[in-house]
Amino acid sequence: MLLSLVRHLPTEWNKKQLLHGKRDIPILPVTEETITSIQSNLERLKKQPSFDIALASTLQRTQQTAALYGIQPEIDGLLDELDFGPFEGKTKATLFRQDGENWLADPQKSILRTNIEELEKRIKLFLEKYKNYHHVLVFGHGSWIRAMLSYVQFGNLKQMNRLTVENNMLIQILVNGKGE
């Protein structure tokens, strides 16, 4: 399956480098730069086989992003962002100060290990649920996308926090050799 993963457009919390998690934060007003970036991503998507299904999480920032792409996604809670618990609304630096190297080296040993395990379960359920599709377009979240990339490439989530996924970044990855 070909997975086309688009991280949601920027929010006020992204500008402040605050952890969103399950908080339902809207995207910022659209700029000309944003429109140009969306058009560029749409051009890249047109060069691939058409997608079988478009998906977004239950959180408005992914749905708002899909709408600006002109796409009406199906909503699936498996795509919801990592629950940052007491760190939601706080800076990433706050999490790093409390968790040290674990957050980068092995998130499953971090202070959020239970939430990371839950995220991994949702990644596995997602891959099982959509395994018979050829091209899936996902409007998702930073941690969810990084977790998916780490799981597909390395078989675990250990590398997820060493990866970078910017807002509105389009990443395409083949899973199980199906797609393209």
Residues 6+ apart with CB under 8 A from 43: none
Over the Cα atoms of the chain, what is R_g? 16
**What domains are there in the chain, each with its CATH number?**
2-174 (3.40.50.1240)
**pLDDT, tens digit, 9 for 90 and up, residues 89-101:** 999 889 989 887 8
Averaged pLDDT, 87-115: 90
pLDDT for 177 equals: 55
pLDDT for 133 equals: 97
- Return phi, psi of residue 28, to 5°: -75, 160
144 within 8 A of 119, measured Cβ to Cβ: yes
User: Per-residue pLDDT for 178 more than 50?
Assistant: no
User: Per-residue pLDDT for 137 more than 90?
Assistant: yes
Q: Which residue has the tokens 């809207």?
A: 26
- Which structure tokens are listed for 128? 């099982």
Q: What is the pTM of this model?
A: 0.95
